[in-house]
Structure 1
Amino acid sequence: MEISSLEQQYADLHHKLLIKINRLQYLQCRQQLKLQLEQQINTDYQHIQDTYSDIQRQDEPLEQLIQVQNEAFKTQDLLYRYLHVVVPTLRAVHQNQSTTTETLIHQHLQHMYGLESGTLKHLIQVNKELHQISSEVTTKRLQVNDMVKHLVIPKMESFHDDNQRLQVVKQRYRDFKEQLIQQHQLQYAAKETDIKTIINSLLKSWGHLSILCQLLPTLVSSLPINWATDKELLAIITQCETVLIALERNQQVISETSIRDMSYKDLLMIDFGELSMKLFTEKE
């Protein structure tokens, strides 16, 4: 407690000393000005007024402004506040600690910035980990870019080319089919009822198959065995679900209701081969 009081007394005396030193420096500068020629002083004064006219108030002489600025910045902020805080810290780092304040400062600095322990060591370790993670991310990104460049992009280009060729072939097939229907339109028009009957029969078969695909999983799941571990029973359920989904998609294209308003040309233009291929693909 006594040491802290002495330190406070030292700080106050040091503050007063700095103010007096600054006052002496100011008086010394004034003495030097008195020794200069009046013409030179007026020239310098006018130069300062012209240079710093934006910060000079009209009701405040330049001499008073300089004195106030020296008192506020040089003495109060720089010498008293800044150096008063920095000097004990520098002494704690570079010299033997002679006061409790410097000892406490040294302990805190060692805890925060010591290389063997403290915050700085943790920050260095975290920085190393972040650098390692950043390097790994960069490596992975390069690998992904290389894979996209040499594998994905060529596959996409090949797929695009194949798809364009497929669309061309499909269009040729449709054109050929339309031409064929046009050539035999009288024959097909006479058999429009037969065409609708055949398609109705196909739709009924799809309906029966759909019911069967719903029934079989129910029967399998009701068996007194663990069907999930039996490969054949599990395959039956999986295939039934796949075929049922494909049938529902096909029935969205054509149904018993929709064919009533369709002409024989519309019915003949339906690509049942494509629907069957979808069904077969889903089944596989």
Structure 2
Amino acid sequence: MRAEALHWLTEPDPSAKVAGVRAAWLAWSAAGWPQPRWLDPDGALTPPPGRPLPGRPSRPRLVDPAEVPARSPFTPEGHAALAHAIAHIEFNAINLALDAVWRFGGLPADFYRDWWRVAAEEAEHFDLLRQHLATLPRPDGGRGWAYGDFDAHDGLWTMCARTAGDVVARMALVPRTLEARGLDATPPIQAKLRQAGTPQALALAAILDIILRDEVGHVAIGNRWYGWLCAQHGLEPLPHFRHLMRQYRAPRPRPPLNTEARQRAGFSAAELAWLQQAV
């Protein structure tokens, strides 16, 4: 499982990556979990030569976050840019989950199962968004955008790279910090889409319902493994989280926080109170 995660992580073609990740997850799920022969949790793995981490296509062009295009849902091109930005997040999230599987050895089998499940669900989200992009009108009167047609930024993978040597920091600062921001950001985006009221806007809002439902589970997985790892290392979760935020220069959450979704994802009352003070 870890070797296969590394294979699909380094796969640059989005269609192949999505198909391979989903097929692997379905095959393992049908065969029944867990199967000890699937895991070599302590084995050292090396990325294959000529396949960089992460595998991704030559487009979209990666730029500074301040340079990404406007994403207003009230214009056709702005709507396409918004859908593309969310698709880029989901594509990165596939890679983030696969990286957690291959990079960190010596953990319980459930850790690898959880992150393979996340990778498969992120692949489904990305596919839904690609299909949506393909239905949208273009300024020249044609129809259909593709992943890579807009510039994007690399903030999610940057934090993944920073935490490559510390699984505790990875669990603290990727799923339960950066990805948890999606729990906060999604309802306001959906409100704007419903205000726009076009069939395309309502279709994207419905896709975001699916993504938000699944992302609560993904953040919960991050919370679960962060708490487990803190217990294993004798760390107090909230003080250590504050330390990691400072050490790795993690961005603060932006108000308003989706406290209901964060509670369902496993954030404690004490941590939510601190996060509310931090914004």
Does the alignment reach a TM-score above 0.5? no
Q: Indicate the structure whose relative CO is greater, using CA pairs within 8 Å and at least 6 residues apart.
A: 2
Which TM-score band (shorter chain)?
A: under 0.3
Question: TM-score by structure 2 length?
Answer: 0.24
If each structure's helix is expressed as a fraction of its own residues, which one has the higher value?
1
